[in-house]
Amino acid sequence: MAVVKANEEDVKLLARLLRAEAEGEGEQGMLMVGNVGINRVRSDCLDFKKLRNIRDMVFQSPGGYEATQKGYFYQRARDKEIRLARRVINGERIHPASYALWFFRPTGGCPGTWYNQRNTGRYKAHCFFSPTGENCPGVYRTY
C-alpha cells in the first residue's frame, strides 16, 4: 500500500530522480535516495513544508535536488528504477536513509551533523542526515 499518493507519472518522475542522483550507487543507493524523497513528502517540516506530492518534492527550489537544478535530470526512467520507485512509494525503508531528509556527497568523511541534523550513516559516496523527532515528528510516523 502506498505511503504517498502516486500515479504512474509520479512513479516515473521519482524513478528518473533515483537514476539521476544515485545510478552509480546501485540499487541500494537509489532506494536510499527514494527514502529521502518520500520522507520529504511525508514530513511537512523544516525545509519541506507544503510539499504535498512527488512532483513538488522532485522540483522543489530552492532546497531541492542537484539533478533538477543543475541540469542532469534528463534521462528517462528504466524498468529497474521504476521498480525501485514503487518499492519506496510502498513504504520500504533502507538504513541509513530510513528517516533521512538530506544526503550529500562530501569530498572527505561525513560530518557528525549537517545544518543541525544528525548523521545517520554513509552508503558508498553519500552521507545521510535525519532530523530530531521534536523538530520533525512527521518523518517518524509509522505507515
Q: Give the Å distances, CA to CA, from 104 to 30, 45, 55.
A: 13, 19, 21
Q: Which domain holds residue 79?
A: 8-140
96 in any annotated domain: yes
On whether residue 2 sits in a domain, the answer given is: no
Instruction: Supply the pLDDT for residue 17.
Output: 97
pLDDT tens digits, 11-20 = 999 999 999 9
pLDDT < 50 regions, the chain: none
Asked if residue 16 is part of any domain, the answer here is: yes
Count of domains forming the chain: 1
Within a domain: 1:
no
What's the pLDDT score for residue 130? 96
Q: Does residue 91 lie within any of the structural domains? A: yes
**Looking at the whole model, is its pTM more than 0.85?**
yes
96 preceded by a cis bond (ω within 30 of 0): yes
